[in-house]
Amino acid sequence: TDEFADEGPFMDITGTYDILRKQRIIEIECVTMRRNPIFQQILPAGNEHRILMGTPREAAIYKRVSKECKVLDVRLTNGGCSWLHCAVKIEKRGEDDARKAIEAAFEAHPSLKHVIVVDGDIDISNPSEIEWAIATRAQLDKDLILKPNQIGSSLDPSADQITRKTCKAGLDATIPLHVDRDKFVKARIPGEDEINLDDYVK
């Protein structure tokens, strides 16, 4: 119909209640059912919900960032609801590659709130490795980009609920090109790759 009504509030991908939204009223004229029907339902904020919403955005971010630098992987993090937080892994060739990646990620997915860019040796499917990169490779006075008063996601309860304005942030947690990289990589025991525990444990 041409009529609209309030829908919700419902729980959304963040696990919080979404805003009321005006949606069209529909009139049901007929309901049919097959034998032994299966009803597909998505549990809000569950893994299926996050995969279905987040995965296509990861592809869009990957494609857009690839135009700016060598991108290796993109992950909308589970802790960021697979919607608001993004980790981008790049092969850094220019000193401004991380900043270019940050801007490109925000452009590709306007609902993003925070973007973290890391080097190729970081496993972005592991939150601890992302945090380790921040702890050992980032200096916030130089590597943090703040973008205040940006249009964000209506799914972010901390954003202004009328204007949707939020402060977005990007963090370059990559190793600078002009330094000794050996100081930034995890120390390993020499020869550990050559050890076969089967030779010692029976």
What's the N-to-C CA distance of the chain in angstroms?
Answer: 74
Q: Which tens digits make up the pLDDT trace of 92-135?
A: 999 999 999 999 999 999 999 999 999 999 999 999 999 999 99
Query: At residue 202, does pLDDT exceed 80?
Result: no
Please confirm, yes or no, whether 18 is among the known catalytic residues.
Answer: no
| From 6, 12, 123, 172, the catalytic residue | 12
Q: How far apart are CA 136 and CA 183, in angstroms?
A: 10
- pTM for this structure? 0.86
**6-61 residue pLDDT tens:** 988 888 999 998 888 899 999 999 988 889 988 888 888 899 999 999 999 999 99
At 147-171, the pLDDT tens digits run 999 999 989 999 998 899 999 999 9
Per-residue pLDDT tens digits for 161-199:
889 999 999 999 999 999 998 899 888 888 878 888 888
Domain 47-177: CATH superfamily is UbiD C-terminal domain-like (3.40.1670.10)
CA distance 180 to 172: 18
Q: For the chain, what is the radius of gyration of the CA atoms?
A: 22
**Every domain of the chain and the residues it spans:** 47-177
Report which of 75, 135, 80, 134 is spatially closest to residue 105, judged by C-alpha positions.
75
